[in-house]
Structure 1
């Protein structure tokens, strides 16, 4: 049995602002923006990804069937942390987001001796990361993986 991750639901306060950030600033493809009654769903997909991001009204709140089923409260906007994007060239991805006006951390190297800033010549495959947040504070990591074992 294959299980594929297709959609991550993202809690946001302002659907149009989130759509502008993900579709405009980050350059994700806006797959659709649909409203039926009081439910609005926007789905965006990072270039090259098989997994999309969905946000809207009526998909992460008390109207959501899955939340009623589990008895769990909805996630607050900004509470999703650690969603990770993978790129083959982290320096190029970092430069692209900086060029788009996204506030990002510097590139960091995670190794046996802890975390340190990237310096020229560092190997970054699997250990190079940078981070950013969306307008609500949902936290994203970007990791370089150019080959898999």
Structure 2
């Protein structure tokens, strides 16, 4: 039996602002944008090439978690420098490429699975890019 992670709720204070950030600046595809009643709006977006989506929402229809409180969301990319450059070009305030060395963060790329770039959405939800080893 497969157990696939399909959807991760991301708490935001302004759904329209968050939708613009994730679709225009991050390049996520907008899968759904629906209102459920007068109080709840749900926007589902999927990162390019991902089998898992995020859902943004206002009101109690998505998550009771405080906007900006989700940390550690992670996207895996094949070229961390190119991905970071794309984020910077799109106006995302992304940190430098870093790696873990002797238990602390150090500047520059590291070895296999050890290159990261950190950034946050407009509400402060924290994301990381991680470079996967090249195949082949």
What is the TM-score with the length of structure 1 in the denominator? 0.83
Distance 1:93 1:9, change over 3 A: same
Provide the C-alpha distance between the structure 2 equivalents of 1:51 and 1:86, rounded to a whole number of angstroms. Answer: 12
Contact 1:7 1:53 in 2 (8 A): yes
Partner of residue 128 from structure 2, selected from 94, 117, 141: 141
Contact 2:12 2:56 in 1 (8 A): yes
Provide the C-alpha distance between the structure 2 equivalents of 1:75 and 1:24, rounded to a whole number of angstroms. Answer: 25
Asked if residue 46 in structure 1 is aligned to residue 47 in structure 2, the reply is yes
RMSD of the alignment, in Å?
1.6
Shift of 1:109: 1.4
What is the TM-score with the length of structure 2 in the denominator? 0.90
Deviation >4 Å, runs of 4+: none
Q: Which has the larger radius of gyration?
A: 1
**What's the secondary structure of 1:94's corresponding residue?**
helix
Provide the C-alpha distance between the structure 1 equivalents of 2:112 and 2:10, rounded to a whole number of angstroms. Answer: 28
Contact 2:100 2:110 in 1 (8 A): no
Structure 2: any 5+ residue segments left out of the alignment?
A: none
Shift of 1:53: 0.4
Structure 1: any 5+ residue segments left out of the alignment?
A: 62-73
